[in-house]
Structure 1
């Protein structure tokens, strides 16, 4: 077995060298992970396939003595740990750090990680399946790991790639340049390799197929692959909207809501989409209400969508959700949506037992384009929940409006994403 893996490790080493010679776009999450790099704690980087987890980890380790193994290779699936370490040392020499890429492909990987840490290795681990990683980490590595969720490029990182500096913001010319870049970002999305290498849309189609058929169907032995693909396509096409398992079952001709819920869980665990629960003080209403779905990347959703027209408001809402996630907030623990007969608030941000922030998103360029109902619901819910931080994210309208004791801040999306 060792003879088979040494050439693989050697080839992967050359691939690392080649990748580190490419153009580098610094990722915002780097500083968060970097703060833990020298600590004797396992660093786990998760996220959707091709979001840049591996390259991000390589960049963090580039000035350190590290060995790298990518387990997306069939020769490494059944490898023994001692043979693997022998192969790494043969190719890299003695190393202090190990970068283990797509570790969930190896059966019993969590026992490996335990053993390697006990032997004194500083470990960075990546993976593309939330459930496999979190379940085993919680069971076997309690208190000895820290997890970071990586996403495709944010708008700030997209600007960094484009070489657009968010400076001189009082200039209308610069504002126009930033809004033009935002329109392009909403269409293309942020998958790093797709953008940096200027690849065709076939890249995103192949990526979608790989996630469905390699990360989901193969891993979970799904009996009806085309059905789970249908579920993924439907939900990724209807981002920022409510869905229910019963409705999906009827639309797509599936056998049971149980099957639908399982399929959605598998797709979420591959980081393709996120489900958001409705906020309610009543537990029964909370459990029964439909959920809203958000896509991990608008470029991917735009490509596979069956929609004939764009809905800029829904695209803006999806971007705001992803931005909240990048800020470290967790759906259904800190982020919810609200809906009643009187209206809807897109995001309810909870901190402990308090509601910290209410956010409405609307594609409006002027005050008279914002529906009265959206503002009324925002104010009413703010009063009920004793929340004073009320925000309405717009396309182009900026202002502050007082209404009794409450103030609503109207912020253009590009400024919100730039944290201005």
Structure 2
């Protein structure tokens, strides 16, 4: 089991605080493992196993506790004879009806430290905001980064070069359980297809009471095929109409929102660099894990430019950047990345194989006159930095946590 220290560094300062720790992210991205890592750390600090109480609500053994009152009564009963602080772990808490009422009550009644996970962004909206406003802290968990993939893959295939690891990463993506399958292609493809189906049915269809599943699948296919390209609900509506189906633009927007709530896709807004404001139209979407795209849709190598963008975008999120697309007249910068007082610009391309490509990728920065770092990322092995613009190999960028 990888320690995932980058997440533990963020979570550790909040251990033993009275804030509810909320871990969110796409189904099977490693949230349960994070709970196990937190438990390990607590045990090392001298907490006894009896003080750790855990529930996984995807386990049918806990089906009887899937409403707030039943869960509350169970925990009160279990903790009556215990002394000292109690540590409560609730995995996939959204399966419990009115769970937020239970969590808030326990937080008030008990001397406890609470950790919850969920596979839907609505975990932090609606009733939760009402009951726990200002009393929780969220950590978004993502599939494995390239650095984590290298660490894990080398436990299976020792001494694999970084370049060969990256080829595997391009194909498999970063879903943690693939290591248990020894990265067998057929088995991994089946597993990732099942993950996709599970997200679709449990976290999108069931949670949003979607009746037209066929239409949802068409929308999923369209976005998956067109990651990293400008998205318009109107254009998608016309596309569906050309296939003999029709759907109101507003309904399409609601379906897409359900997909982002399930962490299957991430929306990236466009920013007018000159006006320094976010634009309300023509955003882009990236998939939570490019390995899922390969298993379900295929074509990752054919769409290598988009996949590399997807990989870089997710890495920027892991590093805590707020990311937008830069618009400057008719030109676009792939990513404007901001974090506290830090800001960087990033262009991503496959290879700088021709002078025309070099001029295009570096030329995007000609009209940006500020002094923030500007990067061009590609898979070229030679440093092509020029005019103060930094060129970096994508693999080096992904393994350089200082950026």
The interval holding the TM-score normalised by the smaller chain is 0.7 to 0.9
2:345 corresponds to 1:358: yes
Partner of 1:169: none
Following the alignment from structure 1 to structure 2, what is the Cα–Cα distance between the partners of residues 190 and 91? 42
Quote the offset at 1:372 in angstroms.
1.3
Partner of 2:333: 345
- The TM-score normalised by the length of structure 2 is 0.85
Q: What secondary structure is seen at the aligned counterpart in 1 of 2:102? A: helix
**Mapping of residues 153-232 of structure 1, within 5 Å:** 153-163=144-154, 177-198=161-182, 199-232=187-220
**1:66 alignment partner in structure 2:** 52
1:86 deviates by: 5.2
CA distance change for structure 1 residues 341 and 235 in 2, over 3 Å: closer, same or farther?
same
Residues 97-108 of structure 1: pairs in structure 2 closer than 5 A: 97-108=87-98
Match of residue 335 from structure 1: 323
**Aligned-partner Cα distance in 2 for 1:113–1:363:** 47
- Asked if the contact 2:28/2:175 (under 8 Å) is kept, the reply is yes
- 2:2 is the counterpart of 1:25: yes
Q: 1:37 Cα shift?
A: 1.3
- Counterpart check, 1:240 vs 2:228: yes
1:273 aligns with 2:280: no
Which of 383, 389, 395 is matched with 1:399 structurally?
383
Q: Work out the CA distance in 2 between the residues paired with 1:388 and 1:326.
A: 21
1:235-266 CA distances to partner (integer Å, 9 max, x unpaired)? 12221211110111122234111011000100
Distance 1:203 1:275 in 2: 25
- Cross-structure match for 2:294: 302
Residue deviations 1:369-411, cap 9 Å, x none? 734122111222x22xx243110011124436443xxx10000
Q: Distance in 1 between matches of 2:70 and 2:174?
A: 37
Q: Contact between 2:344 and 2:372, CA under 8 Å: does it hold in 1?
A: yes
- Where does residue 40 of structure 1 map in the other structure? 18
Moved more, 367-376 or 408-417: 367-376
Q: Distance in 2 between matches of 1:91 and 1:300?
A: 46
Query: Counterpart of 2:400 in 1: which secondary structure?
Result: coil
Which whole-Å CA distance do the structure 1 matches of 2:33 and 2:373 have between them? 38
Within the candidate set 100, 115, 135, 1:124 is matched to 115
Separation (CA, whole Å) in 1 of partners of 2:152 and 2:356: 33
Matched residue, 1:21: none
**C-alpha distance in structure 1 between counterparts of 2:77 and 2:19, whole Å:** 24
Q: Report deviation, 1:287.
A: 2.0
1:133-152 Cα shifts (integer Å, max 9, x gaps): 34433322122211100011
Q: 1:275 to 1:138 in 2, by over 3 A?
A: same
- 1:37-70 per-residue CA deviation (whole Å, 9 max, x = no partner) reads 1222211100000001011111211324311111
Alignment size in residue pairs? 376
Matched, 1:286 2:279: yes
Cα contact 1:237–1:304 (8 A) shared by 2: no
Distance across 2 between alignment mates of 1:163 and 1:309:
23
Counterpart in the other structure of 1:414? 395
Report the more deviating stretch, 253-262 or 361-370.
361-370
CA-CA distance at 1:355 after TM superposition:
8.1
Alignment partners' CA distance in 1, 2:290 and 2:115: 29
What CA deviation, in whole Å up to 9, does each residue of 1:310-368 have, x standing for no partner? 22221111111001100112xxxx3111245643210012457x882111001116574
| SS of structure 1 residue aligned to 2:364 | helix
Closer/same/farther in 2, CA of residues 262 and 110 from structure 1, 3 Å limit: same
> SS of 1:219's equivalent?
helix
Instruction: Report which stretch shifted further, 213-222 or 394-403.
Output: 394-403
Q: Note closer, same or farther for the CA distance 1:91–1:183 as it changes in structure 2 (3 Å cut).
A: farther
Gaps of 5+ in 1: 1-23, 165-173
| Distance in structure 1 (CA, Å) of the matches to 2:77 and 2:210 | 35
Secondary structure (helix, strand or coil) at the match of 1:314 reads: helix
Length-normalised TM-score, structure 1: 0.82
Higher mean Cα deviation, 298-307 or 410-419?
298-307
Q: Counterpart of 1:15?
A: none
The answer to whether the 8 A contact 1:295-1:318 is kept is: yes
3-state SS, counterpart of residue 347 of structure 2: strand
